[in-house]
Amino acid sequence: MKSFTAEFRAELEQILHQKLGGKSSIHEIVEVTGGSINEVYRLQTAAGFFILKLNSAQQFPTMFEQEAEGLEAIRKTKTVAVPEVIASGHIGYQSFLLLEYIETGSKTPTAMQLLGSQLAQMHQNTAPDFGFENDNYMGSLPQSNKKHESWQSFFVEERLKPMVKLAFDASFIDQKLVSDFESLYQKLGGFFEEEKPALIHGDLWGGNYLVGSEGKPYLIDPAVSYGFREFDLAMTHLFGGFNADFYQAYQEEFPLQKGWQQRVDLWNLYPLLLHLNLFGTGYLGQVKSGLKKFI
């Protein structure tokens, strides 16, 4: 645990003391799975258990600040729960985010039904425009949330075009595929009907929700914006982790447009392009096959 120098630990304990009061010494530090970007630890302290996320303050100076903003936006809806943000900031060369620790339980049918209905309730929170007050990250790549009046414009200009340019500049895709995407931009509005912007999680794959020990669902690691709610539902299909109980409860609470299942591959072009840019051409086949259905 190279991050936990004596100086770092002392500063972190001081932050805990300021936020929580009383005794706040760290008794145990256990590294847990945190993906490819962050170091993640479970802290046992005199005040209880917490999750600590760390990354490079130089490489990702605002990532955790923006993650905290996303968690707060979801929390304010009073729908799906999120872990409480205890503190965020910089200690030396590292950024940190200190969160409530959630003891996980089973993803029972009841829990999945609750997640579906609560997500549908969250999606009923709207805004005048598509976008968000601040930019954020999707994985380790910056994500622009410049505001647009329509989802078509937002999805093309702030989601697809930046990823296509990045992939072309890295030689992951050729000019033919760029031209195919340009064809899609012209046709996109014919595939769906515009709706009011919905507060979406933005990175809703199976690893970004938890079920607590008492069956309560939580969302984690958001990449929020006010977007098209089908985008969240599409991402739930990308890597699995959601079942029929989830989708049935969502539909009962806030029915989706007819034919939404046929647009899953359309909205998933964005996360697949992102994975192509992060991890290479292993995702190129999925990008091409998904795009082919809509041009």
Beta strand pairing status for 136-138 and 217-219?
unpaired
Residue environment code for 177-208, b if the CB has 16+ CB neighbours within 10 A, otherwise e: beebbeebbeebeeebeeeebbbbbbbbbeeb
Backbone angles phi and psi of 248, in degrees to 5: -65, -45
* Overall size of the chain counted in residues: 295
Beta strand pairing status for 198-200 and 136-138?
unpaired
How many angstroms separate the CA atoms of 52 and 60, rounded? 16
The position carrying tokens 């030689």 is 171
Catalytic residues: 203
Q: Which class for 246: exposed (0-12), middle (13-18), buried (19 or more C-beta within 10 A)?
A: buried
How many angstroms separate the CA atoms of 45 and 121, rounded? 35
Backbone angles phi and psi of 134, in degrees to 5: -130, 155
How many angstroms separate the CA atoms of 244 and 66, rounded? 32
What DSSP character marks residue 104?
A: B
How many angstroms separate the CA atoms of 236 and 242, rounded? 6
Sequence letter at residue 282: G
Bridge partners (DSSP) of residue 42 are 30, 51
User: Crossing angle, helix 269-279 and helix 161-169, to 10 degrees?
Assistant: 30
